[in-house]
Amino acid sequence: MSGNAIRDTFFEECEELLEALVEGLAQMEEAPDDLQVVNAVFRAVHSIKGGAGAFALDRLVTFAHTFETVMDKVRDRDLSVDDRLMALFHRSGDMLSDLVAAARDETPLDPAAEGELIEALESYLGPASEEEEFSFDAVSLDLGGDTPASLPEIPLAKIADSAPDGAATGPASEKTYRIRFTPTRALYENGHEPLLLFDALAELGTLCVLLDLSGLPSFDAFDPQDSCLDWTLLLTTAEPETALDEVFEFVEGLCTLEITTAPPPAPTEAELPTPDLPQPAARPAPPAAESAAAPPPPKPEARGPKPTLRVDLDRVDRLINTVGELIINQAMISQRIEELDLPTVAHLTNELEAYKLLARDIQEGVMAIRAQPVKPLFQRMSRIVREASDATGKKARLVTVGDSTEVDKTVIERLADPLTHMIRNAVDHGLEHPERRLERGKEAQGTIRLSASHRSGSVFIEIADDGAGLDRAAILRKAREKGLVAPEVELTNPEIDNLLFLPGFSTANQVSNLSGRGVGMDVVKNAVQALGGRISITSIPEKGTTFTIVLPLTLAVMDGFVISVAKETMVVPIASILETIRPNARDTHVIGTSSEVVKIRGSYVPIVDVAANLGLDAGDADRGGSILLLVSTETQGLTALRVTGIHDQRQVVIKSLESNYAAIPGVSAATILGDGKIALILDPDELIKLSRLSEPEGTETKLMPEPGHV
């Protein structure tokens, strides 16, 4: 793993930690005394600091350190959390996220950006930071409260140990230390090994080791766990005494240690066991070896973050594409076998069915690779709510539901901007000011509810506020001013609400610097539609406004009805079909010159002839006798699509029409069928919209760009 790869994983891990941080802070709001939650937050900040230190990201380290220190006080119950401190934590979390992003992308960040926050955090720490106590420097004190992120200085002075040249005294700078070293039992128990200490000393200079065996008891009184040996060491070195202290740093307190400057060693001393270092006789046998009979270790369970594998997105997409081909291939085989017209195919059909299920399993599995929980996206929104409430002086909190709902990665990415915009709108336009909310008997703090769920093969995302609801009079007035609605036309409430989605429509009386950035709801709508989704709006005065986004689960495959229209084979997304009807001739009626309706359970539903709208010649034979697909669309209401026949229900692989041919109005994409033919996938919503536009004048079309709900 290269340095860059480690760096990358660090930032990846930061993302996870920041996520955990945001989540932890949200939980702290609910349960500020839950030590586990506080601990989780502390650990997240702490781990970011630890990693950042390794990459010398000093700003990040300094900020994380201050943050962590305050968090530590909370953890130690030295500090209780109030609203103000909680808000500070949230802002610090945001800042940490900014600092991480700046470090990752190497983008410049205002050098004073975090200064104010650091001051605010430090105000909770009391006058003197404890850590300064052991800055034992004789040099001028460094101002600035930040802790010296000191690198451990373990002198490993590998003296190019030239043999002490002749003279026993050596160079003037050399000194001889006499070290009396008596280890305690705890020294061995803590995993130390005198031999290794002597090795370290020997690296500093010339070492003489004298073993004192006098403490060794007779054999029957001998306890191998006890420490019975002590040593006298003579070290001649040019290194300062602190170098010796470093060697003994870890064993301080675990032995009796006397270091004195001694006269140069007199090599006269008898039996100097210089090279033969004493056998570490006192070293107790490693008990680990005895524990062979211990029960087998429990299988390590997966703990901490789940193991993950980083894969290039290209590879996944290639796989998805191949699986798409597999499904097409499976359909082709089925069709070929059917065409063979074999007498007994029951067993073959069974196998084929199994093949189909397997192909679908594989496909779902592959799609799941691309699926990601919406949680990180939702979590980012809490920051948007915070910033928006700060900017508007409103009080708002974000409640998220269904965080773990998984959605295609591309969808999540492309949803970020629209969602940000809508959340800002919800605070800026949706919620009332606190005073006004209190007047109306509401809580001063407004709630934005962001939820995600899977329903019938689609992903539903709702953004709901508990504000005043849409000001329909103002919307209508604005639309008339802008000439979007003719003065005499009366609109229903849903129709008025849908005006918000018209291009260039902005309700804010004064453009606030928050949501009035030239992006209207039409941009949001386009973004959602580009993902194959729909957006709708409902609003109740004084109760609030809810936007609902419905998205397909995947962008690559969908369940469809294979139908024929005139002589063409086409596909209609199954999700949009409510039911299929073969109407009696007496139930269909022609209204005016060409509009047709069908009576279904007592109500009349407009019929849209698919062939006619696509410019195909259906022939008169189709009239009245063919099949109707009842579809409900988000914007066009209930409508019946007239088609010639229904053949099959199957999963189709979506192939972009734009990238292979060109966009066709009313058609969303294409697919390849089992027989290798290309079939168009219809977009019922667009198709119905088209039909309304082509209707002769005098019908119900009230709005030019887009009719509202029926």
Partner 1 sequence: MTTKVLAIDDSRTIRNLLRVSLENAGFEVHSACDGQEGVDIFPEVDPDVVITDINMPNLDGFGVIDTLRSGPNRTNVPILVLTTESSDKLKSRARASGATGWIVKPFDDASLVSVLRRLTGHVS
Site of interaction with partner 1 (CB under 8 A):
1, 6, 9-10, 12-13, 39-40, 42-43, 46-47, 49-51, 53-54, 56, 130-131, 134, 149-154, 156, 188-193, 195-197, 199-200, 247, 249-250, 252-254, 284, 286-288, 291, 294, 297-298, 300-301, 303-305
Min dist CB 15 to partner 1, Å, is: 11
Min dist CB 459 to partner 1, Å, is: 30
Closer residue to partner 1 in complex, CB, 150/510: 150
- Name the token pair of 678: 């290309």
Min dist CB 12 to partner 1, Å, is: 8
Min dist CB 281 to partner 1, Å, is: 15
Closer residue to partner 1 in complex, CB, 188/378: 188
- Here the contacts of 502-509 (C-beta below 8 Å, separation 24 or greater) are 502/703, 502/705, 502/706, 503/705, 505/478, 505/479, 507/429, 507/471, 507/474, 507/475, 507/478, 508/428, 508/429, 509/474
Q: Residue 539, class by beta-carbon neighbours within 10 Å (0-12 exposed, 13-18 middle, 19+ buried)?
A: buried
Min dist CB 69 to partner 1, Å, is: 11
DSSP 655: B
Closer residue to partner 1 in complex, CB, 192/543: 192
- Name the token pair of 3: 């340095």
- Give the separation between CA 100 and CA 665, rounded to whole angstroms: 45
Q: How many residues appear in the chain? A: 710
Closer residue to partner 1 in complex, CB, 36/453: 36
Min dist CB 675 to partner 1, Å, is: 51
Min dist CB 265 to partner 1, Å, is: 24
Min dist CB 257 to partner 1, Å, is: 14
CA dihedral of 121, 127, 130, 133, whole degrees rounded to 10: 140
β-strand partners of 591: 595
Sequence-ordered alpha helix ranges (H) in 482-565: 493-498, 521-530
Min dist CB 301 to partner 1, Å, is: 8
Closer residue to partner 1 in complex, CB, 50/516: 50
Closer residue to partner 1 in complex, CB, 280/676: 280
Closer residue to partner 1 in complex, CB, 233/384: 233
Min dist CB 197 to partner 1, Å, is: 7
Are the CB atoms for 180 and 258 separated by under 8 Å? Answer: yes
The residue to which tokens 């130690």 are assigned: 76
Closer residue to partner 1 in complex, CB, 13/387: 13
| Contacts for 348 with CB less than 8 Å, ≥ 6 apart | 337, 342
- Give the separation between CA 19 and CA 444, rounded to whole angstroms: 28
* 667-672 and 678-682 beta bridge pairing: antiparallel
DSSP string, 188-201: HHTT--HHHHHHHH
Give the CA distances from residue 188 to residues 180, 306, 469, 482, in Å, rounded to whole numbers and listed in that order: 17, 38, 74, 87
Closer residue to partner 1 in complex, CB, 112/151: 151
DSSP string, 324-376: HHHHHHHHHHHHHHHHHT-S--HHHHHHHHHHHHHHHHHHHHHHHHHEEESHH
- Give the separation between CA 535 and CA 634, rounded to whole angstroms: 7
Closer residue to partner 1 in complex, CB, 155/625: 155
φ and ψ at residue 581, rounded to 5 degrees: -135, 140
Min dist CB 70 to partner 1, Å, is: 15
- Give the separation between CA 233 and CA 176, rounded to whole angstroms: 10
Closer residue to partner 1 in complex, CB, 110/137: 137
Closer residue to partner 1 in complex, CB, 159/474: 159
Min dist CB 308 to partner 1, Å, is: 9
- Name the token pair of 110: 């205002």
